[in-house]
């Protein structure tokens, strides 16, 4: 079977659905492909997002918000903790989502805007004419399907192939990927009001552990380990230890695993007729691993640029340059900064981490944003943070 459209989007995660919705709203004929039979399932996410940035893009719906938090607590390896309030602690807190419902709701919005959603449909490769991509070949419930389209969006997540098919090397090095495991834990000791972050090289080497509340005494409890510090099965093994130590009576109701890119800006996210969005473009925050919002933001940009490029009749790499420029100006700058922090953070010993968080004990940081807190940290620990001085001023 074959079909024709203006834009084919591979992957119905937050990035793909926002691209499809934006492009369909601009009047494009859009097909959104998802290889899974159920959008959003299985989840590979801790589901934390910043409230403000999310609400700028979509109207919050109670059915996909599992919990709302007041702020974040960060624990040093020695147990010292600091508390940051919600409006100051940046993009990782605010809401904890129910992504199975959220991802489907976004796909539904794309469908309502006019996009054709096709599930259990896996892209297998790019169709090419004179070497230039002009659609995708796919398999739909075991049957071949060809979709011709002048522009293809790769929103195909951590396992992205679209970029590679188009000649963009998106393979991640072990030092640029966190390997993660997470349990949905029910326990009476769970803090329902704060997201918690636990640092320490024995808890999560060159990563961190987290507990994000999901309503009544339930939380996503997980951890990420830097690829270079991992062994086969290490993330799950360390998580079992962590849960046993922190929630000895906790009950595990769900298991999630996944890879979270922490690569910073990659060299290219466009080629003739192709744009990459979200995890496929490695747009995840390298320090925190948060990638829902940046995937959605990039999706909106890609949808707008697709519409403009088709109107202008130029879908070449040069014609799609506006996408590259726009996301780098906005998301990209943040990624670069965050990547430098990550590269520094992964070298820290437990003593360093204890010193840093300990130094904040006597300071009132409750009203500070991340930048303000960094400034204080730098004032108190100039030697330790010397390498980061250019980021702090």
Partner 1 sequence: MLTVNRYKCCYCGACVGVCPTCALELVETFIEVSPDCKECGICTKICPVGALEVKA
Within 8 A by CB and 6+ apart from 106, the residues are 14, 17, 18, 21, 58, 296
Torsion of CA 247, 249, 251, 257, to 10 degrees: 30
* 159 Ramachandran zone, left/alpha/beta (phi>0; psi -120 to 50): alpha
Taking residues 72 to 111 in sequence order and writing x for each that binds ligand FAD by CB under 6 A, - otherwise, the string is ----------------------------------------
Regarding 173 and contact with partner 1 (CB under 8 A), the answer is yes
Regarding 35 and contact with ligand FAD (CB under 6 A), the answer is yes
Among positions 260, 304, 324, 352, the unique one binding ligand FAD when judged by CB under 6 A? 260
Round to whole Å and give the CA distance between 353 and 376. 15
Taking residues 261 to 300 in sequence order and writing x for each that binds partner 1 by CB under 8 A, - otherwise, the string is x---------------------------------------
Among positions 6, 26, 30, 48, the unique one binding ligand FAD when judged by CB under 6 A? 48
Regarding 160 and contact with partner 1 (CB under 8 A), the answer is yes
Helix axes of 370-380 and 350-359: crossing angle, nearest 10 degrees: 110
* One-letter-per-residue 3-state SS of 255-296: EEEEEEECCCCCCCCEECCEEECHHHHCCCCCCCCCCHHHHH
**Which residues, 107 to 136, sit near partner 1 by CB under 8 A?**
120, 122
Regarding 382 and contact with partner 1 (CB under 8 A), the answer is no
Q: Coil, strand, or helix at residue 350?
A: helix
Regarding 230 and contact with partner 1 (CB under 8 A), the answer is yes
Shortest Å distance, C-beta 123 to ligand FAD: 4
Shortest Å distance, C-beta 148 to partner 1: 23
Shortest Å distance, C-beta 136 to ligand FAD: 8
Nearest to 379 by CA among 365, 367, 366: 365
Distance of CA 353 to CAs 23, 117, 239, 361, Å? 45, 47, 20, 13
Within 8 A by CB and 6+ apart from 260, the residues are 158, 177, 178, 180, 224, 284, 289, 291
Among positions 150, 200, 207, 258, the unique one binding ligand FAD when judged by CB under 6 A? 258
DSSP 5: -
Span near ligand FAD by CB under 6 A; candidates 41-49, 64-72, 334-342, 355-363: 41-49
- Residue 372 binding partner per list ligand FAD, partner 1, none, with a CB distance cut-off of 5 to 8 Å that depends on partner kind: none
What single string gives the DSSP state of each residue in 125-145?
Answer: EEEEETTEEEEEEEEETTEEE
Nearest to 21 by CA among 58, 53, 64: 58
Regarding 140 and contact with partner 1 (CB under 8 A), the answer is no
Regarding 23 and contact with partner 1 (CB under 8 A), the answer is no
Which of residues 238 and 310 has its CB atom nearest to partner 1 in the complex?
Answer: 238
Among positions 6, 47, 176, 352, the unique one binding ligand FAD when judged by CB under 6 A? 47
Within 8 A by CB and 6+ apart from 338, the residues are 264, 285, 286, 287, 288
Residues near partner 1, by CB under 8 A? 35-37, 42, 44, 120, 122, 157-161, 164, 170-174, 177, 179-181, 227, 230-236, 255-259, 261
Residues near ligand FAD, by CB under 6 A? 10-16, 33-36, 44-49, 122-123, 155-159, 161, 180, 182, 222, 256, 258-260, 278-280, 284, 289-293, 295
């Amino acid at each position: 079977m074959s079909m024709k459209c203006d834009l084919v989007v591979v992957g119905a995660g937050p990035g793909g659905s926002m691209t499809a919705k934006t492009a369909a709203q601009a009047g494009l004929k859009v097909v959104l492909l998802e290889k899974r039979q159920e959008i959003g399932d299985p989840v590979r996410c801790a589901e934390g997002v910043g409230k403000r940035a999310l609400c700028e893009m979509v109207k919050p719906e109670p059915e996909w918000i599992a919990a709302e938090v007041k702020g974040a607590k960060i624990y040093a390896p020695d147990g010292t903790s600091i508390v940051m309030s919600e409006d100051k602690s940046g993009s990782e807190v605010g809401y904890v989502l129910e992504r199975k419902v959220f991802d489907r709701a976004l796909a539904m919005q794309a469908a309502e805007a006019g996009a054709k959603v096709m599930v259990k449909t896996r892209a297998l490769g790019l169709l090419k004419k004179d070497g230039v991509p002009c659609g995708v070949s796919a398999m739909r419930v075991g049957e071949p399907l060809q979709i011709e389209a002048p522009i293809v969006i790769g929103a195909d997540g951590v396992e992205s192939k679209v970029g590679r098919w188009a000649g963009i090397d998106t393979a991640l090095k072990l030092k640029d990927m966190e390997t993660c495991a997470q349990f949905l834990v029910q326990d009476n000791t769970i803090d329902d009001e704060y997201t918690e972050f636990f640092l320490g090289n024995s808890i999560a080497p060159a990563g961190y552990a987290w507990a994000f509340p999901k309503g009544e005494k339930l939380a996503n409890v997980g951890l990420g380990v830097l690829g270079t510090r991992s062994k086969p099965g290490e993330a799950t093994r360390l998580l079992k230890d962590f849960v046993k130590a922190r929630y000895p009576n906790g009950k595990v109701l769900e298991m999630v695993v996944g890879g979270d890119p922490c690569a910073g800006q990659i060299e290219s996210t466009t080629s003739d007729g192709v744009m990459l969005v979200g995890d496929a473009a490695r747009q995840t925050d390298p320090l925190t691993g948060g990638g829902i919002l940046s995937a959605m933001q990039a999706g909106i940009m890609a949808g707008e640029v697709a519409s403009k490029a088709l109107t202008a009749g130029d879908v070449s790499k040069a014609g799609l340059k506006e996408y590259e420029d726009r996301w780098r100006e906005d998301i990209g700058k943040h990624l670069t900064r965050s990547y430098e922090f990550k590269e520094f953070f992964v070298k820290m010993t437990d003593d360093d981490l204890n010193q840093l968080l300990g130094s904040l004990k006597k300071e009132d940081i409750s009203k500070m944003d991340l930048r303000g807190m960094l400034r204080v940290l730098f004032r108190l620990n100039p030697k330790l943070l010397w390498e980061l001085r250019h980021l702090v001023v």
